[in-house]
Amino acid sequence: MKYFGKVDLNITKELKRNLKIPIVHSGDVFNYLDAEEVFKKTNCNGIMFGRGAIGNPWIFLDTKKYIFNGEIPQKVSLEEKIKVIIEHIEILYSIYGENYTIKQMKIHIPKYLKGYPKITMLNKLLNGVKSINELKYFLYNFRKL
Ligand SMILES: Cc1cc2nc3c(=O)[nH]c(=O)nc-3n(C[C@H](O)[C@H](O)[C@H](O)COP(=O)(O)O)c2cc1C
């Protein structure tokens, strides 16, 4: 559907009802509550996260804990987010090098830090970033921007 409209859970439900193979649902699952709804409404065997995981890699463990143990996920602290962004940078850098990492992180960082007032300032700064060190400097000093 190219992200137009809302996912039709009846399709997943019908597939599950009519096929004997495991059915994994994909589409419009943005948090653990969406996941619960999809499991309940479709009886599917698994769920994939697409856009919901961008800037929120915690979505997998949060959902697992909620679905299997009924644990309500805690809000991720800014410090934890920065730590994971740095890890994300290091992994990208080790595979793709500096330029591509900077280009990609300009897309991902605003997703990770959505909702923090300082993100507007960081976005402006990100436009001019030329090195990984500079990128990290802005992240470590995010609160002071
Ligand atoms: C960054 C990104 C890359 C994707 N790449 C592919 C791909 O290579 N092949 C594919 O079939 N679908 C791809 N998709 C589509 C997803 O697998 C998924 O079907 C779609 O995003 C709907 O799930 P969502 O609502 O959870 O995002 C991609 C989606 C995203 C967000």
Q: What is the CATH number of domain 78-144?
A: 1.10.1200
User: Ligand 1: which of 26, 88, 107 to mutate, judged by most atoms within 8 Å of the beta carbon?
Assistant: 26
Take atom 28 of ligand 1 and give the residue whose Cα is closest.
Answer: 50
* pLDDT above 80 for 1: no
Question: What confidence score (pLDDT) does residue 18 get?
Answer: 98
Residue ranges per structural domain of the chain = 9-69, 78-144
Question: What confidence score (pLDDT) does residue 36 get?
Answer: 98
Q: What type of residue sits at position 142? A: F
- 59 contacts 49 by C-beta, under 8 angstroms: yes
How many other C-beta atoms are found inside a 10 Å radius of the C-beta of residue 4? Answer: 5
% of the chain surpassing 70 pLDDT: 100
Asked if residue 46 has its Cβ within 6 Å of ligand 1, the reply is no
Question: What confidence score (pLDDT) does residue 145 get?
Answer: 87
Model confidence pLDDT, tens digit, residues 26-65? 999 999 999 999 999 999 999 999 999 999 999 999 999 9
For residue 48, give the ligand 1 atom closest to its CA. 26
Global pTM reads: 0.91
| Å from CA of 50 to ligand 1 middle | 5
Model confidence pLDDT, tens digit, residues 90-110? 999 999 999 999 999 999 999
Question: What confidence score (pLDDT) does residue 88 get?
Answer: 98
